[in-house]
Amino acid sequence: MREIFENIPIIRYEGPDSQNPLAFKYYNPDRIILGKTMKEHLPFAMAWWHTLCATGTDMFGRGTAHKSFGKEMETMEHAMAKVDAGFECMQKLGISYFCFHDADLVPEAADIRETNRRLDEITDYILEKIQSTGIRCLWGTANLFSNPRFMNGAGSTNAADVYCFAAAQIKKALELTVKLGGKGYVFWGGREGYETLLNTDMKLEQDNIARLMHMAVDYARSIGFKGDFYIEPKPKEPMKHQYDFDAATAIGFLRQYGLEKDFKLNIEANHATLAGHTFQHELRVSAINGMLGSIDANQGDDQLGWDTDEFPSNVYEATMCMYEVLNAGGLTGGLNFDAKNRRPSYTPHDMFYAFILGMDTFALGLIKAAAIIEDGRLNAFLQDRYASFYNGIGQTILDGSATLTSLACYAESLGAPAMPDSGRQEYLQSIVNNILFS
Ligand code: XLS
Ligand code: NI
Ligand code: NI
């Protein structure tokens, strides 16, 4: 087997004092945290599109990174070389999962039947790699946003023929996901939205998206898919407005259309901030609704209003993420690095440095989140803050025996209401800092 990243060794844990750029400082897969190994807590995944396809092209310039992997671009030989490169990369980093779009795997042909034949061929090869390495598919999806035919959306298109092409791609992507043993299937509605309401039948579009999702669930279950479907919320980009705006909106949509049993959410950090939320907020909304499925682990830039898909470096954010994940009892999905190098970081070494950064950031986040939980002060404060609901009049509210009249009588008996206890935000923030930096 040809080695593609010849100068990159297997990346091992060397500890925080190591200055070896090709070693983990915090991610120690076998270390036990709260009863599970780090590897179990952190089911990392490689995103096929960023890692194997993206070259750093932007609106103003060509790619800077070479990802031919020694073959002619846009050929089946190149598609095979991407498989080799991807599996070598995951093996060297100790990453156990990957995520893919159909369009990431092979060059699209003019006729969908030929594209599907190519997809069969490449997934035969991927399946061999899965069997020989034990690396698994976290989730698959169909790219329903790049081809110009999807300019007005896929499920939300105005053109029934285009809707059928979307259906055909979803059908095939589901078959491939099942073939590769994928744990989940993602709907990211990049073009499922609008540019202007002047030309948009919002109700029809949303009804049609739900119809497509129902058909996808029915078909997937009929071919043996047991995993979760995910909606990946994002408020905008590429469309001005996207229907899956944020976690709360997506959950409302799923419940409105009776899809909530089959779907959970795939929360992306950078999408949360584009929606005007924190990453932690989106995770909490998902978790309290029983919908926290998987995570696209990346980060945005506070000064930029678009999806920069950076590898996560912010330990505070990662700590709050893992705090939510631990409190929710873990992920059924995984942590997919939907992240790419900055355009000037274009070498294979940069790619490995980026993954090391991301994996170490989440390892630190896990260590610190577990420390916050073990420390117990935050949780104790929270219990105490709501204590008035666990006895006396508060208890009657929780157990449903209260009426507006009983509460009003009680209020009258008090005369003037008391002030609630302080929220103590700054005190709590100092506890978090104390744990983070000790
Ligand atoms: C784009 C999305 C996309 C999904 C998969 O912003 O994050 O990459 O994760 O279609
Ligand atoms: Ni994503
Ligand atoms: Ni994104």
**In the predicted model, is pLDDT for residue 362 greater than 90?**
yes
Mean pLDDT of 46-62: 97
Mean pLDDT of 247-253: 99
Q: What percent of the chain has pLDDT over 90?
A: 98
pLDDT of residue 183: 98
**In the predicted model, is pLDDT for residue 418 greater than 90?**
no
Mean pLDDT of 383-412: 97
Q: Is 232 in the pocket of ligand 1 (CB under 6 A)?
A: yes
Q: Please give all residues whose CB falls under 5 A of ion ligand 3, grouped by chain where several chains appear.
A: 268, 307
What homologous superfamily is domain 35-375 in, according to CATH?
Answer: Divalent-metal-dependent TIM barrel enzymes (3.20.20.150)
Q: Is 141 in the pocket of ligand 1 (CB under 6 A)?
A: yes
* pLDDT tens profile 280-293: 999 999 999 999 99
User: Is 66 noted as a catalytic residue in this protein?
Assistant: no
Q: Is 298 in the pocket of ligand 1 (CB under 6 A)?
A: no
User: Is 104 noted as a catalytic residue in this protein?
Assistant: yes
**Nearest residue by C-alpha to atom 5 in ligand 1:** 188
Alpha carbons 31 and 359: distance in angstroms, whole number: 14
Q: Is 268 in the pocket of ligand 1 (CB under 6 A)?
A: yes
pLDDT of residue 82: 98
What ligand 1 atom has the least distance to the C-alpha of 234?
6
What ligand 1 atom has the least distance to the C-alpha of 143?
10
* pLDDT tens profile 106-162: 999 999 999 999 999 999 999 999 999 999 999 999 999 999 999 999 999 999 999
**Nearest residue by C-alpha to atom 4 in ligand 1:** 188
CA 416 to chain centre: 49
pLDDT of residue 1: 72
Residue written as tokens 């997506």? 250
* pLDDT tens profile 68-84: 999 999 999 999 999 99
Q: Is 253 in the pocket of ligand 1 (CB under 6 A)?
A: no
pLDDT of residue 363: 99
Distance 238 CA to ligand 2 centre (A): 13
**pTM above threshold 0.85:** yes
Write down the catalytic residue from 41, 50, 102, 104: 104
Q: How confident is the model at residue 438 (pLDDT cuts 50, 70, 90)?
A: confident
Domain boundaries, the chain: 35-375, 378-437
**In the predicted model, is pLDDT for residue 95 greater than 80?**
yes
Distance 333 CA to ligand 2 centre (A): 13
Write down the catalytic residue from 78, 101, 271, 277: 101
Mean pLDDT of 182-209: 98
Q: How confident is the model at residue 416 (pLDDT cuts 50, 70, 90)?
A: confident
pLDDT of residue 55: 97
Find the ligand nearest to 190 CA.
Answer: 1
pLDDT of residue 290: 98
**In the predicted model, is pLDDT for residue 237 greater than 90?**
yes
Query: Average per-residue pLDDT in the chain?
Result: 98
Find the ligand nearest to 141 CA.
Answer: 1
Distance 217 CA to ligand 2 centre (A): 21
What ligand 1 atom has the least distance to the C-alpha of 101?
10
Top mutation candidate among 98, 232, 246 for ligand 1, by most atoms within 8 Å of CB: 232
